[in-house]
Structure 1
Amino acid sequence: MPRPANPEIRNRLLIDGGHVIHRSGFNGSGVQDIVAAAEVPKGSFYSYFDSKEAFAAEVLEGYWESIEQRHGRVMYDAPLTPLARIEKLFELMVADHAAQDFRIGCLVGNLSLEVSNTSGVVRTALERILARWEGMITASLDEAKVRQELPADCDTAQLASVIIEAWEGAVLRSKVERNGEACRRFQQVTLKRLLY
């Protein structure tokens, strides 16, 4: 009779192994690297995940849930205007990248570039995350439109997509240059021009 799954081991694989994927990339991380980081036997990996791609998809979901838990509440901060909430969200996200010296980038962007052409499972997870992210920003943009802080004809869903696309480009460049200049330009120039 097989042993029951251990949620603590699964969690260690997702967190510690997820850090490996984030730092070294999907293709730069083998299952051996993932299990070594989590300090579990290699055979345990396939007891919890059907494939490395399925593992990466769950790591992505956990990464985005962490961002939502830590920063998502700012999007419902009533004392801030809807547009100020969006600015605050990205301010918090820049701080996350600064804490890593702008070296590892955004896992959503990293895996979009690295795996989305080769893994339908990862691409589907990325699509879900982008839709949630766009939905969060669109809701604030819709509120800004009601408050007449944006033009009545503003396509808020499209604007939310453009904001995310510009952000991901800035994070990618910050990762290459290992500094926050591109993220600061996004905040001080791109986001301001898109919102105001």
Structure 2
Amino acid sequence: MPAATRTTDTRRVILDTAQRIMAHKGYSAVGINEVLAEAGVPKGSFYHYFASKDAFGEAMLKGYFADYLQEMDGVLAPSERSAADRLMAYWQRWRETQSIDECQGKCLAVKLGAEVADLSESMRLALKDGTGAVVDRIERTINGGLEDGSLSVDGEPREIAQALYDMWLGASVMAKIHRSLAPLDTATAVTRRLLHL
């Protein structure tokens, strides 16, 4: 295997391992040594792959959002289903991946958002860019629903998209606090009302 491929693979293993661990414990509670041990990478090699812990955190978030947006694009891609159906399938998938005890890396924005925004400017910007890209896709799907007549909104599509995303993030936090999916069920009902479904 060429050295460049090994480097890329090892870097990806470190990032994937960190994402999985930090989705459970948070950013500050996890040390680099814990990630490297779990990834099976020698302790001394961290700075070969990342200039600092901030650079590592930024890369982890960028990788998380790249994967998340790819999955999101798969759910929202134009198809024979209406835009409203595709958008509600996205929210249903969100609900399914927000298991109370085991989010398995699917909720990194929820888990780390407030924590790292105050710790690292580069990580805050990675979160801002990533969440902005999510809202862009929601807005596009709302616009598609307005065009195909499958939904309607009171207000600008961008504002509705942002409000929906904000509500679902908040509902995910509340679901963890209450150890109940009821906040996500409420978010589903409110989403249907906002989209006039």
TM-score range, shorter chain: 0.7 to 0.9
- Is 1:192 equivalent to 2:196 in the alignment? no
Percent of pairs identical after alignment? 23
Distance 1:190 1:162, change over 3 A: same
Distance 1:81 1:129, change over 3 A: same
Q: CA deviation at 1:145?
A: 2.2
1:185 counterpart letter in structure 2: T
Contact 2:100 2:176 in 1 (8 A): no
| Aligned partner of residue 86 in structure 2, secondary structure | helix
Q: CA deviation at 1:68?
A: 2.7
Q: Take 1:182 and 1:102, find their aligned partners in 2: how far apart are those partners?
A: 16
Q: Give the match for residue 177 of structure 1.
A: 178
Structure 1 residue ranges, 4+ long, deviating more than 4 angstroms after superposition:
99-105
Q: Give the match for residue 35 of structure 2.
A: 34
Q: Give the match for residue 118 of structure 1.
A: 119
Q: Give the match for residue 134 of structure 2.
A: 133
Cα-Cα RMSD: 2.2
- Between the two proteins, the alignment pairs up a number of residues equal to 192
Kindly provide the CA deviation profile for residues 138-159 of structure 1, in whole angstroms up to 9, marking residues without a partner as x: 11111222334325x7301111
In the TM superposition, 1:144-163 aligns within 5 A as: 144-148=145-149, 149-151=151-153, 154-163=155-164
Q: Take 1:61 and 1:99, find their aligned partners in 2: how far apart are those partners?
A: 24
Q: Take 2:116 and 2:140, find their aligned partners in 1: how far apart are those partners?
A: 29
Distance 1:143 1:186, change over 3 A: same
Q: CA deviation at 1:104?
A: 7.4
5+ unaligned residues in a row in structure 2: which ranges? none
Q: Take 1:99 and 1:12, find their aligned partners in 2: how far apart are those partners?
A: 25
Q: Give the match for residue 49 of structure 2.
A: 48
Kindly provide the CA deviation profile for residues 81-125 of structure 1, in whole angstroms up to 9, marking residues without a partner as x: 112211100111211123854697721122221010221110110
Contact 1:102 1:180 in 2 (8 A): no
Q: Give the match for residue 57 of structure 1.
A: 58
| Aligned partner of residue 98 in structure 1, secondary structure | coil
